[in-house]
Structure 1
């Protein structure tokens, strides 16, 4: 029975399918897995521990030794994604209704989805349409996996008076420490980086399932359409911004557009933020399913959008990636 192969055929399947299946169980038979001991600890109450371990494994993949053009491209992509996502998130906070939502979207979901990107999808896109410097930029892009940049945006908004509930230093450090530990281990020992890399992928369906056990099916219905809209915003706003920033820098603009996605692990960000500050707990359930829907939407739509952009450039006589290949210094 090809369970893994089947899940991989579904965009974001390793995250989305376990999450939705668990939400279904939690809606109709919530007590089935709430039987105590190891079963409940893993499948119901284990989300925080599993996410912490996932963040440690992810942190180990951040290579601090990258320099040159790849570093510049990675930093530019990180900055573009964060600035665009933060601006849209700020607008959402400014114009949110009494229920804390803007056009049905949770602002925390907007920031989490639009500042995070699907690294696998990016690598696949630049593998076909980019050069080695575009691919090498991925190691720096690992910094936007997880809650760090979302936390930075929310902390800034709190200072500006748009967000209630600033993070305490201890809470902030407690969420980031697993990433830092992983980063230290990965940079001290390449074998540890490779070892922990295997864990990052393996943990996704398990923490997604545990998160799903905290979601009611009614929330999925409520958040589904909003999540699709969030996915459209991510592809067309952050992807297009990346395209034009890279074009302005005279780099391959397709590599810039390839960042217009939401990663499956971004589904954990709302829960991580709420753990750091209870002020953001109200819409965590809705934000989680909206981010999940955005993950699926971007995984399907971004390759189509990128292919459209490539054809558009080819009609103008630009060859991708040949006309933009550069050697790393």
Structure 2
């Protein structure tokens, strides 16, 4: 059977197929693989560990001469994602009705969903379509986890004052450390760099499956049309803005588009902000389900959109990622 070849015919198939398969299992039979021990550890609870190992392997491939490139890409992704989401959020606040909604969407849900991104999905996509500097850029993207950047947007809008304690430096270091360890090992020993070089691609379908086990399709129904629209906005607006920003920088535009998602932990952001400012309490429940629907919508739609963009580039004679790989990484 040509399982691998069949999966690879699907755009982003090595990530999309395992993710959707797991999401289907989690929706229809959530306890099927939650039976403890090694089965649950690998197929349900293993996403964080597998991604951490992926980042270590990626770090080992980074030549110290290219660290600045990775940081530049990470900072660009972070600022672009935040700015794009904040602009739509500001428009929503300016045009919302007496019920505090804009086209049925809670403005706080818009900002929470569109300024936050799914790190696991980003890693999976750039693992297939990016180079090592793109993967290492993830070290800075930890800054958009949780409500921190949403709070900054709201404070800039004058909706509320800045609230301390929304960003954990320890959490940021915990994301960065596996990359640093891998980078040190790879630069100290060329044999270790070569040994780790094939590990990244092998891990992608496994952590994609584990990520899928955290997705429940019923969230789309619960969040309603508003949640789906929010997901569409996140993919097509923030993803497209990232695409063109990276293209303008002469970097791989697919990597810029790979930030067009919403992370699962963004679901908790409306409640966290409402706790800090009671002014947002009225729509916190609606905002929560809309963000949850956006999480699922972006997880399904973004890989498909990325596949479309890759095919579009290929028709123009551009090969992704080969035409964008940093030269020092080929050595």
- TM-score, normalization by structure 2: 0.67
Would the alpha carbon gap of residues 241 and 277 (structure 1) be closer, same or farther in structure 2, given more than 3 Å must change?
Answer: same
Alignment of 1:1-329 (within 5 A): 9-10=22-23, 67-158=67-158, 163=159, 166-167=160-161, 172-176=163-167, 179-183=168-172, 223-327=223-327
Cα distance change, pair 67–230 in 1 and its aligned pair in 2 (3 A): same
After superposition, the Cα gap between the structure-2 partners of 1:324 and 1:125, relative to the gap in structure 1 and judged at 3 Å, is same
Q: 1:226-280, CA deviations, whole angstroms, 9 ceiling, x for partnerless residues?
A: 0000000001000000000000000000001111111111101111111221111
Indicate how the Cα distance of structure 1 residues 323 and 181 shifts in structure 2: closer, same or farther if over 3 A, else same: closer
- For the 8 Å contact 2:274–2:284, the answer to whether it is kept is yes
The offset of 1:174, in angstroms, is 3.5
List structure 1 segments (4+ residues) > 3 angstroms apart after TM superposition.
Answer: 5-8, 11-14, 181-187, 219-223
Question: In structure 1, what is the Cα distance between the partners aligned to 2:151 and 2:137?
Answer: 23
Structure 1 length normalisation: TM-score?
0.67
Q: Distance in 2 between matches of 1:290 and 1:280?
A: 15
Tell whether the 8 Å contact from 1:129 to 1:320 is kept in structure 2 after alignment: yes
Give a deviation string over 1:47-73, Cα, whole Å, max 9, x none. xxxxxxx9xxx9xx9x9x994101010
> 5+ unaligned residues in a row in structure 1: which ranges?
19-53, 195-200, 209-216
CA contact (8 A) 2:142 2:175 kept: no
Alignment deviations for residues 268-303 of structure 1 (CA, whole Å, 9 cap, x no partner): 111111122111111110111000000111111111
8 Å Cα contact 2:223/2:289 also seen in 1: yes
Structure 2 distance, partners of 1:233, 1:154, is 19
Q: List alignment gaps of at least 5 residues for structure 2.
A: 1-17, 32-47, 183-206
